[in-house]
Structure 1
Amino acid sequence: MSIIIKFLSVGVNETRMLGIYGIGGVGKTNLAKEIYNSFIDQFENCCFLANVREISKHDYGLIRLQQTLLCEILGDSSLNVANIDEGIGLIKEMLWAKRVLLVFDDLDKSVKLETLLGGCDWFGLGSIIIITTRDEHLLNIYNVHLRYKVKELDHDEALRLFCWNAFKNEKPNHDFVELTKDVLHYAGGLPLALTVLGSDLYGRDIHYWRSALKKYKTIPHNDIHEKLRISYDGLEESQRSIFLDIACFFTGEEEEYVTKVLDGCGFFPNCDIKVLVDKSLITIEHGKLIMHDLLKDMGREIVRRESPNEPEKRSRLWFHEDVRRVLEETKGTNKIQGILIELPEQDSIDLSPGAFSEMKSLRIFINRNACFSRGPNYLSNELRVLDWCGYPNHSFPQNFNGKKLVILRMNESLIKELGDGLKNFRILKTMKFSKCEFLTKIPDVSGLQTLERLEIKYCNNLVELHESIGFLDKLVELEIENCESLTSFSRSLKLRSLKELILRYCERLQKFPEIDQREMKCLTWVQLEHMTAIKELPSSIWDLTGLRQLKISKCYEVRHLPIGSQLLTACYSALGYLDISGSNVVILPEWIKGFVRLSVLGLHNCVQLKEILELPPNIEDVGASGCISLESFVEVSNMFEFNTSSCRKLRSIDLNGCHKMVVNPLRFERTRKNVLYFREIRFQIGTTITSWRFQIIMYVIG
């Protein structure tokens, strides 16, 4: 009831409108009734218009609603409304000065609310108007600024509601405790489901419970399904397709990824996903599309009802038994648009080579964990997603041109030859190869001018990446990792859209490409890790005007940092994070102080590092543990010997294991009092020290 407190905080001399919205069955109407009953004693003129959406669909439904509104407020049951326009006039004329309490329950866009509520000026000051809806966007249309989203019940609330319906008690009977947990997990805090299922299971024995629960997970309870389906029925055709795709394949996936796929399918995800959010059919949490389990089941049940007994005649397949039947018995048809294979546990499917030959409309194929004894000799050219873990062929079928492919993911596959096929992948956005042991070469990719993400990991026999990889204008992320045989990479990079470049554990790659800073203004993050054959970096790396983070760790052959041609105007002004841990740099040069935005500097385990001459002026954290050769650190010496520091933001220096560092500990107490902004120094000097080390940390923090 905290919403009522918020509601009452608005001035009583104003007309107040409250919008209550949320998923179907979550309790919007019950909350509206609770608020209505709390205020009813304060108003002479009250009306609760229930089921507005359903009534308005009937012949003369809006006239009936207008008449009910007038009769209940005026107390005249003989009043008749001839038509909608007359009703609008009567409401404005007869109610404009009255202070009313109104509830319009269950509105959607099909209801012409302006025939019942043209504006707040139709009623007297101090009126309260409450609207319940599944569609938050409807509240925008009618300028309802005070809103409350009804959320699912928490565990304790859900347990009480279910138990009162199933056991007529607050707690479950002893023998039903575990089954009750299963029901609560299935219902997901939705009051409608908890009430319906509790009533259905009341008085039944444990065998009935087990059987019913198994059935619910396959075929949702009809009362729940029909209630939830109302929102789906109000969608446009493309919105329905998007909803079903998410329910069957993409729940929990990144919004950006799903948007790319759906856009490639010819839908309009940038606006239609927002519609699904407004109608409480999905939520977006941390960039991922989330759908309530019961809504997901509702969507899948809609698909199942397309052909209850013949799964090959449905538009989408996800249930492992249906998928196995269609693929092993070669029952595929032109009806099937998408397949998700997610077996209860990893198992093999005896795939017929021609299993896909009749699936001309297949847009989406995702295999999570099935193993295949044989590969296909045909794949649909309508495919937008080919995500096949364990792809069993060395190459794609001859018929497959991939012209509509948006996502290509090959994990632990036998793919060997990509040949010239990639030139046809004209709208490909994402390409990933992982643990493809037979893959030795990535061929010419110059035709992939829409590619945004390229990821190649653990392809141990990959030797060559074609030079054209360095010239993909739309590429945003490039990640090459644990390709231990890789020796050939693009000699230069002119990737105009690239933001992230990651090269890790490619131990035979000897040369880092030159970077065209004029073309690569978007690059913000570069990571080189365990690239043990690279001896030097190009000076052009410092000329990147947008570079924010640079990590060059465990590159043992790198002995010095190059100086760029535009050092004072480019990377100097932007870099905030620099990590060269594990390199063989001997002296950290004085020009490091030019990085005016650098706040974090990593130097861990630079075993050849002897001297740190300067620090950037805004540095906050310096990590130099394990620098066993470090003898001189001017900033630390100044702090301990002269109580001075040029770095006012410095809060932490880690020198653990730097045995050759020498400072005067007797001056520490005076330093501690004068350098108040400093927070922590971790030392280990010679063999003396554990106690002194912790004494310093205690004093500084305390």
Structure 2
Amino acid sequence: MAASSDLKANYDVFLSFRGTDVRKSFLSHFYTALAQKGIYSYVDSEELRKGDCIKPALMKAIEESCIAIIIFSEDYASSPWCLEEVEKIMECKEQRGLTVFPVFYKVDPREVRTPRKSYRKAMVKHERKFGRDSEKVKRWKKALLDAGSLSGWDLKDNKEIVISRDLVDSALHYADGLPLALVVLGSYLCGRREHEWESALNKLAKSPDKTINDVLKLSYDGLEDCEKEIFLDIACFFKGQSIEYIMEVLNSCDFDTTIGVEVLVEKSLITKEWDSIQMHDLIQLMGMDIVKQECRDDPRRRSRLWLCEDVHDVLSGDMGTNAVKAIVLVLPQAETIYIGPNAFTNMRMLRLLVMINVHNSFQGPICLPNALRWFQWPECSSSVLEFLPGPKKLVKLDLRKSNIQVVMDQFKDFKNLKFLNFSKCPSVVCMPNLDLTPNLEELDLHGCKNLERAHESVAYHAKLRLLNLKGCSNLYHFLDVLQSKNLQVLNLIGCSKLQRFPDIPDKIKGLEELYLRGTSIEELPTSIENLVYLEKLNLIDCKKLANLPPSIYKLSNLERLILSGCSKLKKFPIKEDLCDPHSKMGFPKLVTLRLEGCNLLEGEFLKNHSCFPRLRNLYLSIHNFAKLPTFFPAWH
């Protein structure tokens, strides 16, 4: 037993239990089996279980454990102490990735989740003591629901000694005392029946030269084919990358990524840390070794290539085969290699191609397979990329900072394309016809300084969410009208030759952010009122902007209005200029209004404080105010 005075820095296992139910029966056998294999388990002493609040010593013990095992017994929920423990354990699972296994000792898992029977009686008792609406009791119920929904062991008919002594003993033997192997093997065996345990452990027994890889690979072998593909992609390419990026890439390959990633987390093969996916080094090496074993002596016959030497040998010699599914080469600094026109021709199953800091000494056309779904090659030196005739599966095309020549007809077979990035490509002089890419969601052409006009297909595109034309300094014509219903972000910052913003004939419920900083726009159309869900409007340094339409007061969802540096703007409209000045229009959600350097002559618009009920940040420096309003509203 351990008390607070003899806590160690870390624990392999924290055991949560109701002492009167299991301390002298199941728990003692289980604790002994773990101890015999050098697994350090935290079991508290009864003296610490006083009062209704968990002691700091136990909170620390939970936080410092690799695994928590909750032994749900008949009287478990009657103890506030136990409920505090399970709440803390589930908190650590969510925030720290703590692995949690429930054991249902002579209770049905449904009794814990619902709660029912003894668990219902216990919760009624707690509600009487702490109040029916007690936040504490609500947290306990949620913790029981979450923990009771996990896969675990359902022990009935007094068979727990056989399980704890025999099967657990064998599992610990093959884990060889290594916490990583223990976690992965435990995750694999969790919730399986006895004969499945025996089958898995017999498989390990047949390997006389057992290594940790044998234990880890057992969990991999239990995955579905799609889950194996996801695991190998993460192991070879994406460890440490953002969850959002990984999900986008793998979804483009038609994997059921959401479920697949959750399965890998449950199997303890990967972890989610903040916004990234991480993986233990040994698990990553196992994944890479699985790929290398596909053909140890010939990389062109492997499914994935990521080592510079292997990629160079395969591509420079045009030696690709149908076996290659993915190539990701990310170099720490720019390096030039030779990649010929037919380097990818024979890779008919290639679905993923990412080349970062890879410069090609060959600048001619390169032929790519139609199966390709995700293609990133910034600074690609080839001016022409060709595909075989027929439909293309490409979902993402990222050729930023390249010399690519954009030809309209190239896109006629790209029906699946969702993400297109030609940013900072000096050769881009015209925008693609988006009618040819009906599923496009993001178009990034920022920094294309030779682009002069937007294609009219943008105006009506049904699925476009983001259009980035920032820094297109020669763009003089955008659109006559804007009716793209799903457009959420429009960025025209630095389009210094742009003098007119398009009319908006119908309500657009998608656009939330509009950036017009540094344009030469002289006025906004009255129809700006149709951007009914606009939240951010940035007009900084629009030095030719002389007027704002009164209809701007109809932007009821606007939160930030930035007009700093609009030196020709002499007057901010007042609500009374509206056709119906008695309407309820105004800025009910506006928090920030910046008007520095606008040379306003008066602040009359501030008199009607009902138009600015939530305004918190008001900037009025560098003006020629002849008079200020007689009072300012009571903004806090």
Q: TM-score under structure 2 normalisation?
A: 0.67
Structure 2 portions without partners, runs of 5+? 5-9, 35-72, 77-100, 120-144, 155-177, 182-208, 577-584, 607-611
- Give the equivalent residue in structure 2 for 1:496: 485
Residue correspondence of structure 1 range 427-442 to structure 2 within 5 A:
427-442=416-431
Take 2:32 and 2:354, find their aligned partners in 1: how far apart are those partners? 44
- Give the equivalent residue in structure 1 for 2:615: 619
1:410-433 alpha-carbon deviations (Å, 9 max, x no partner):
111111133312121111111111
* Conserved? CA contact 1:600–1:621, under 8 Å: yes
Which residue identity does 1:515 align to in structure 2? I
284 and 402 in structure 1: CA distance in 2 versus 1, 3 angstrom threshold? farther
From 535, 542, 548, the equivalent of 1:548 is: 535
Which residue identity does 2:475 align to in structure 1? L
- Give the equivalent residue in structure 2 for 1:462: 451
Take 2:387 and 2:25, find their aligned partners in 1: how far apart are those partners? 78
Take 2:217 and 2:146, find their aligned partners in 1: how far apart are those partners? 19
121 and 251 in structure 1: CA distance in 2 versus 1, 3 angstrom threshold? closer
Deviation of 1:402 (Å): 6.3
Take 1:605 and 1:292, find their aligned partners in 2: how far apart are those partners? 54
SS at match of 1:322: helix
* Conserved? CA contact 1:446–1:471, under 8 Å: no
Which residue identity does 2:572 align to in structure 1? L
Residue correspondence of structure 1 range 9-28 to structure 2 within 5 A:
none
* Conserved? CA contact 2:104–2:153, under 8 Å: no
- Give the equivalent residue in structure 2 for 1:632: 627
Which residue identity does 1:553 align to in structure 2? I
User: In angstroms, what is the RMSD of aligned CA positions?
Assistant: 3.9
Deviation of 1:314 (Å): 0.8
Residue correspondence of structure 1 range 229-628 to structure 2 within 5 A:
229-374=217-362, 375-399=364-388, 403-518=392-507, 520-531=508-519, 533-564=520-551, 570-571=554-555, 573-583=556-566, 584-591=568-575, 594-606=586-598, 608-615=599-606, 616-625=612-621, 627-628=622-623
SS at match of 1:553: coil
Which residue identity does 1:575 align to in structure 2? L
Take 1:557 and 1:309, find their aligned partners in 2: how far apart are those partners? 67
Take 1:98 and 1:551, find their aligned partners in 2: how far apart are those partners? 61
* Conserved? CA contact 1:468–1:490, under 8 Å: no
Which residue identity does 2:287 align to in structure 1? G
SS at match of 1:378: strand
Take 1:222 and 1:383, find their aligned partners in 2: how far apart are those partners? 39
Deviation of 1:121 (Å): 8.7
Identity %: 33
- Give the equivalent residue in structure 2 for 1:8: none
* Conserved? CA contact 1:379–1:400, under 8 Å: no
Deviation of 1:337 (Å): 0.6
Take 2:446 and 2:210, find their aligned partners in 1: how far apart are those partners? 46
Take 1:274 and 1:41, find their aligned partners in 2: how far apart are those partners? 33
* Conserved? CA contact 1:542–1:563, under 8 Å: no
- Give the equivalent residue in structure 2 for 1:672: none
Range moving further from structure 2, 256-265 or 507-516? 256-265
* Conserved? CA contact 1:225–1:298, under 8 Å: yes
* Conserved? CA contact 2:500–2:521, under 8 Å: yes
1:81-108 alpha-carbon deviations (Å, 9 max, x no partner):
xxxxxxxxxxxxxxx9999xxxxxxxxx
Take 2:341 and 2:428, find their aligned partners in 1: how far apart are those partners? 22
Take 1:286 and 1:406, find their aligned partners in 2: how far apart are those partners? 27
Deviation of 1:294 (Å): 4.0
Take 2:619 and 2:210, find their aligned partners in 1: how far apart are those partners? 61
1:487-536 alpha-carbon deviations (Å, 9 max, x no partner):
23222211111111111111122221222442x112111111111x2212
Which residue identity does 1:346 align to in structure 2? A
Take 1:118 and 1:41, find their aligned partners in 2: how far apart are those partners? 16
Which residue identity does 1:403 align to in structure 2? K
1:307-364 alpha-carbon deviations (Å, 9 max, x no partner):
2221111101111111111111222111111111112421101112211111111100
Deviation of 1:376 (Å): 5.0
Take 1:317 and 1:582, find their aligned partners in 2: how far apart are those partners? 52
1:641-692 alpha-carbon deviations (Å, 9 max, x no partner):
xxx542x224xxxxxxxxxxxxxxxxxxxxxxxxxxxxxxxxxxxxxxxxxx
SS at match of 1:367: strand
SS at match of 2:247: helix
Structure 1 portions without partners, runs of 5+? 6-26, 53-95, 100-110, 127-135, 146-189, 194-220, 639-643, 651-702
* Conserved? CA contact 1:355–1:376, under 8 Å: no
Take 2:589 and 2:328, find their aligned partners in 1: how far apart are those partners? 47
Pair member with larger Rg: 1
Which residue identity does 1:582 align to in structure 2? G
Take 1:241 and 1:113, find their aligned partners in 2: how far apart are those partners? 32
* Conserved? CA contact 1:282–1:290, under 8 Å: yes
51 and 228 in structure 1: CA distance in 2 versus 1, 3 angstrom threshold? farther
Take 2:488 and 2:109, find their aligned partners in 1: how far apart are those partners? 49
Deviation of 1:298 (Å): 2.9
Take 1:539 and 1:252, find their aligned partners in 2: how far apart are those partners? 48
Take 2:372 and 2:278, find their aligned partners in 1: how far apart are those partners? 24
- The number of residue pairs the alignment matches comes to 475
Which residue identity does 2:571 align to in structure 1? I
* Conserved? CA contact 1:356–1:376, under 8 Å: no
SS at match of 1:465: coil
Take 2:391 and 2:243, find their aligned partners in 1: how far apart are those partners? 23
